[in-house]
């Protein structure tokens, strides 16, 4: 057994050239093969790639899809995002726990099945959902969950769970997935027809400088949510002196409630890769990396196949479309379950085979990114837009949208509505129009841009989708009037606590403390001054955290405090005589009672 481990780990490391920067791939392969990355495997990998074992351990313990302890042959990751909760997470979890005879986080005694939870897997339009190894299982019900377990017990092959295929490329044999696209509204930029090579052909007739000029003139801004002008980013990268430059596509769609990139990756892969190639030409890069979140690994083979086909048709590789000296290739980097890797510098760390710790900024990636070289990191949708702009022209593109935000936006709408799915709408669309489009049911609040942004009430439903008003990377979750907004805020605070990388103090410790205050208030033990303490602590975390995650993590609480303060106020009351209602004496002395072997009589 030990020899087998040695041999197989050596083979895996060898297949990635024993390259330390490919540790994500090496670790993923070892995890898949053995159900864990054990201490022995860590030693073997460290030896093969010539680094210290603690460096490997550091990486393995960072990503939630890796584990040092052996997991079952089948791992069921039940998605526990708020939308899944709204659609029956608890009943499904209960059914699975009962059927498997284990708790969440455990493995069956025969070592066959592990049950665990995971944050949003990008299936909110078909929630409740789960990942069974790399197979997405959607539209779960307690009955279907039980049936699934019984089947898995027979063959331990998650792929056999897929009997009904989703539409479009979901039914491509290389995808073979039950996932549905749920494209509800097609727009002119993303979901209009696209023919491979057309955008690139026009691009290669221009100089790199004029391509950047065209993107700048189109007023395209980053679709990931931050809205940085894409052309400007490309220009910075092209003007930084360097031997090598890189293009990275951020397909780590982790913001809860976002799934539009999933659909673009499924249906517009050609358009995406063409956009990356255009960027490569404009910036002078020879390598592009698609950072695909681990949750979407079911698309890996298909996307690789598209890359192969493009290589064979001269759309990738050397002298692309006959253009001498223009060489560009793309590889796919698979993530392994870490929300923070959606932050571009953390994503770069991960591509380099490290923990997904964000880097210090400045320098920004266009100055110093992947391997210390100028790097353009753009969202899936941004690259798709770039392709369309090169076909239709900057003028055509900038004529669409709101006065200050050009083009269309792909939105992922889910929650309390009859028609959840992907909507491509022009920027400037009103929130209230979206509610109508998706047939929202008794809407009381909308979470625009996911938990890292803001929750709005009906008084702001007249606002418009754009960077200056309701900014979003694509996530829109609708809540009906009966939903408990404080529960939602707390749920997402838990999410950020889990997903913090732990690098800086305010985010690592501050969020845990913020949670204590929230729990105190929500449990009815809060005093009026606790709300001010929550506000002060939240502002401090926002102001002093090192990266975008920490700077946004208090937003669910801040949003609730700012927009729905009366809800918190109704839960706190003044206490007399300096009594601390949150201090539970009984539980405080449990450890000491255990130690001295006595129990209080008054429990």
Query: Where in 325-364 is the site for another protein (CB under 8 A)?
Result: 338, 340, 355, 360, 362
Minimum distance from residue 62 beta carbon to another protein (Å): 5
Q: Given candidates 450, 506, 526, 548, which one binds another protein under the rule CB under 8 A? A: 506
Nearest Cα to 191, choosing from 266, 297, 301? Answer: 266
Cα first-last separation, the chain: 52
C-alpha to C-alpha distance for 46 and 251, rounded to whole angstroms: 28
Q: Considering beta carbons, is residue 351 or 504 the nearer one to another protein?
A: 504
Q: Considering beta carbons, is residue 124 or 345 the nearer one to another protein?
A: 345
Minimum distance from residue 365 beta carbon to another protein (Å): 16
Nearest Cα to 424, choosing from 388, 458, 456? Answer: 388
Q: Given candidates 497, 535, 567, 572, which one binds another protein under the rule CB under 8 A? A: 497
Nearest Cα to 571, choosing from 496, 485, 509? Answer: 485
Q: How many helices and strands in the chain, by DSSP H and E? A: 26, 16
Q: Is 45 in the site for another protein (CB under 8 A)?
A: no
CA 400, 273, 257, 369 dihedral sign is negative
Q: Considering beta carbons, is residue 505 or 523 the nearer one to another protein?
A: 505
Minimum distance from residue 452 beta carbon to another protein (Å): 16
Q: Is 286 in the site for another protein (CB under 8 A)?
A: no
C-alpha to C-alpha distance for 448 and 476, rounded to whole angstroms: 5
Phi and psi (nearest 5°) for 421?
160, -160
The pair of structure tokens assigned to 374 is 């100028």
Minimum distance from residue 58 beta carbon to another protein (Å): 5
Q: Is 508 in the site for another protein (CB under 8 A)?
A: yes
C-alpha to C-alpha distance for 356 and 60, rounded to whole angstroms: 11
Strand partners, 332: 290
Q: Is 52 in the site for another protein (CB under 8 A)?
A: yes
Q: Given candidates 156, 206, 540, 572, which one binds another protein under the rule CB under 8 A? A: 540
Q: Considering beta carbons, is residue 52 or 577 the nearer one to another protein?
A: 52
Interface region with another protein, contact rule CB under 8 A, candidates 117-125, 254-262, 425-433, 491-499 = 491-499
C-alpha to C-alpha distance for 94 and 92, rounded to whole angstroms: 5
Q: Considering beta carbons, is residue 329 or 530 the nearer one to another protein?
A: 530
CA 542, 546, 550, 552 dihedral sign is positive
Angle at 136 between CA 341 and CA 382, to 5 degrees: 45
Q: Given candidates 71, 405, 500, 538, which one binds another protein under the rule CB under 8 A? A: 500
Minimum distance from residue 333 beta carbon to another protein (Å): 19
C-alpha to C-alpha distance for 274 and 220, rounded to whole angstroms: 16
Q: Considering beta carbons, is residue 414 or 500 the nearer one to another protein?
A: 500
Q: Is 172 in the site for another protein (CB under 8 A)?
A: no
For residue 473, give the DSSP letter.
S
Q: Considering beta carbons, is residue 128 or 526 the nearer one to another protein?
A: 526
Q: Is 594 in the site for another protein (CB under 8 A)?
A: no
Q: Considering beta carbons, is residue 145 or 514 the nearer one to another protein?
A: 514
Q: Considering beta carbons, is residue 158 or 510 the nearer one to another protein?
A: 510
Do residues 342 and 213 touch, judged by C-beta distance below 8 A?
Answer: no
Q: Considering beta carbons, is residue 462 or 528 the nearer one to another protein?
A: 528
Q: Is 510 in the site for another protein (CB under 8 A)?
A: yes
Interface region with another protein, contact rule CB under 8 A, candidates 24-32, 48-56, 120-128, 383-391 = 48-56
C-alpha to C-alpha distance for 314 and 361, rounded to whole angstroms: 37
Q: Is 85 in the site for another protein (CB under 8 A)?
A: no
How many of the other CB atoms lie within 10 Å of CB of 14?
11
DSSP string, 98-158: HHHTS-TT-B-TTS-EEEEEES--S-GGG-S-EEETTEEE-S--HHHHHHHHHHHHHH--G
Minimum distance from residue 228 beta carbon to another protein (Å): 16
Q: Is 537 in the site for another protein (CB under 8 A)?
A: yes
Query: Where in 367-396 is the site for another protein (CB under 8 A)?
Result: none
Strand order in the sheet with 421-426: 183-185, 421-426, 408-415, 475-480, 443-448, 454-456
513: left (phi over 0), alpha (psi -120 to 50) or beta: alpha
Q: Given candidates 21, 432, 544, 563, which one binds another protein under the rule CB under 8 A? A: 544
User: How many residues are recorded in the chain?
Assistant: 603
Minimum distance from residue 355 beta carbon to another protein (Å): 8
Q: Is 501 in the site for another protein (CB under 8 A)?
A: yes
Interface region with another protein, contact rule CB under 8 A, candidates 99-107, 142-150, 364-372, 539-547 = 539-547
CA 178, 184, 189, 192 dihedral sign is positive
C-alpha to C-alpha distance for 230 and 221, rounded to whole angstroms: 5
Q: Given candidates 40, 442, 505, 586, which one binds another protein under the rule CB under 8 A? A: 505
For residue 417, give the DSSP letter.
B
Nearest Cα to 295, choosing from 327, 338, 231? Answer: 338
Do residues 104 and 115 touch, judged by C-beta distance below 8 A?
Answer: yes
Q: Considering beta carbons, is residue 214 or 530 the nearer one to another protein?
A: 530
Strands 443-448 and 475-480: antiparallel
Q: Given candidates 33, 53, 176, 186, which one binds another protein under the rule CB under 8 A? A: 53
Minimum distance from residue 12 beta carbon to another protein (Å): 22
Count of residues touching another protein (by CB under 8 A): 36
The pair of structure tokens assigned to 306 is 């598209």
Minimum distance from residue 383 beta carbon to another protein (Å): 29
Which positions from 132 to 171 touch another protein by CB under 8 A, shown as an x/- string? Answer: ----------------------------------------
Q: Is 546 in the site for another protein (CB under 8 A)?
A: yes
Minimum distance from residue 513 beta carbon to another protein (Å): 5
Do residues 487 and 481 touch, judged by C-beta distance below 8 A?
Answer: no
Do residues 176 and 165 touch, judged by C-beta distance below 8 A?
Answer: yes
Query: Where in 55-84 is the site for another protein (CB under 8 A)?
Result: 55, 57-58, 61-62
Q: Considering beta carbons, is residue 536 or 598 the nearer one to another protein?
A: 536
Q: Given candidates 420, 503, 557, 559, which one binds another protein under the rule CB under 8 A? A: 503
* Contacting positions for another protein (CB under 8 A): 52-55, 57-58, 61-62, 338, 340, 355, 360, 362, 497-506, 508-513, 516, 537, 540, 543-546
């Amino acid at each position: 057994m030990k020899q087998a481990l040695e041999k197989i780990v050596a083979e895996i490391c060898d297949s990635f050239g024993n390259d330390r920067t490919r540790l994500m791939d090496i670790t993923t392969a070892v995890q898949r093969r053995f159900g864990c990355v054990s201490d022995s495997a860590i030693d073997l990998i460290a030896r093969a790639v010539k680094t210290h074992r603690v460096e490997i351990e550091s990486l393995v313990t960072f990503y939630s899809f890796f584990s040092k302890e052996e997991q079952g042959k089948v791992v069921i990751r039940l998605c526990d995002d708020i939308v899944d909760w709204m659609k029956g997470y608890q009943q499904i979890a209960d059914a699975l726990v009962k059927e498997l005879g284990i708790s969440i986080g455990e493995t069956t005694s025969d070592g066959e099945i592990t049950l665990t939870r995971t944050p949003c897997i990008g299936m909110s339009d078909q929630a409740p959902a789960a990942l069974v190894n790399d197979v997405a299982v959607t539209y779960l019900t307690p009955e279907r969950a039980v049936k699934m377990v019984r089947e898995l017990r027979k063959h331990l092959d998650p792929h056999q769970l897929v009997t009904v295929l989703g539409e479009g490329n979901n039914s491509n044999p290389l995808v073979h997935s039950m996932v549905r696209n749920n494209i509800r509204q097609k727009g002119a930029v993303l979901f209009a027809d696209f023919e491979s090579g057309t955008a690139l052909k026009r691009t290669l007739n221009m100089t790199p400088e004029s391509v950047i000029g065209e993107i700048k003139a189109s007023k395209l801004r980053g679709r990931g949510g931050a809205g940085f002008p894409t052309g400007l980013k490309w220009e910075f990268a092209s003007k930084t002196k360097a031997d090598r430059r890189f293009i990275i596509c951020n397909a780590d769609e982790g913001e809860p409630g976002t799934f539009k990139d999933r659909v673009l990756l499924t249906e517009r892969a050609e358009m995406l890769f063409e956009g990356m190639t255009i960027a490569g030409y404009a910036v002078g890069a020879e390598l592009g990396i698609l950072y695909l979140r681990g949750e979407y690994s079911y698309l890996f083979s298909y996307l690789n196949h598209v890359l192969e086909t493009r290589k064979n048709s001269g759309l990738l590789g050397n002298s692309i479309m006959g253009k001498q000296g223009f060489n560009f290739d793309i590889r796919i980097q698979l993530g392994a379950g870490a929300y923070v890797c959606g932050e571009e510098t953390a994503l770069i760390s991960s591509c380099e085979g490290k923990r997904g710790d964000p880097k210090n900024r400045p320098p920004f990636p266009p100055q110093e990114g992947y391997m210390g070289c100028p790097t353009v990191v753009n969202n899936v949708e941004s690259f798709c837009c770039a392709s369309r702009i090169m076909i239709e022209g900057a003028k055509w593109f900038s004529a669409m949208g709101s006065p200050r935000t050009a083009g269309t936006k792909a939105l992922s709408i889910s929650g309390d509505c009859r028609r959840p799915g992907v909507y491509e709408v022009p920027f400037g669309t009103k929130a209230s129009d979206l509610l109508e489009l998706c047939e929202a049911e008794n809407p009381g609040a909308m979470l625009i841009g996911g938990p890292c942004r803001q929750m709005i009430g009906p008084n702001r439903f007249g606002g418009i989708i754009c960077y200056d008003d309701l900014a979003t990377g694509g996530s829109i979750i609708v809540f009906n009037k009966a939903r408990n907004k404080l529960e939602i805020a707390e749920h997402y605070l838990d999410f950020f606590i889990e997903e913090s990388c732990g690098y800086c103090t305010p985010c690592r410790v501050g969020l845990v403390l913020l949670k204590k205050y929230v729990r105190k208030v929500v449990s009815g033990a809060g005093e009026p001054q606790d709300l001010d303490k929550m506000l002060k602590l939240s502002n401090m975390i926002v102001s002093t955290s090192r990266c975008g995650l920490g700077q946004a993590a208090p937003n669910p609480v801040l949003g609730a405090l700012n927009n729905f303060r009366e809800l918190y106020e109704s839960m706190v009351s003044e206490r007399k005589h300096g009594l601390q209602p949150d201090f539970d004496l009984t539980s405080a002395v449990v450890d000491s009672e255990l130690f001295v072997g006595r129990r209080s009589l008054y429990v």
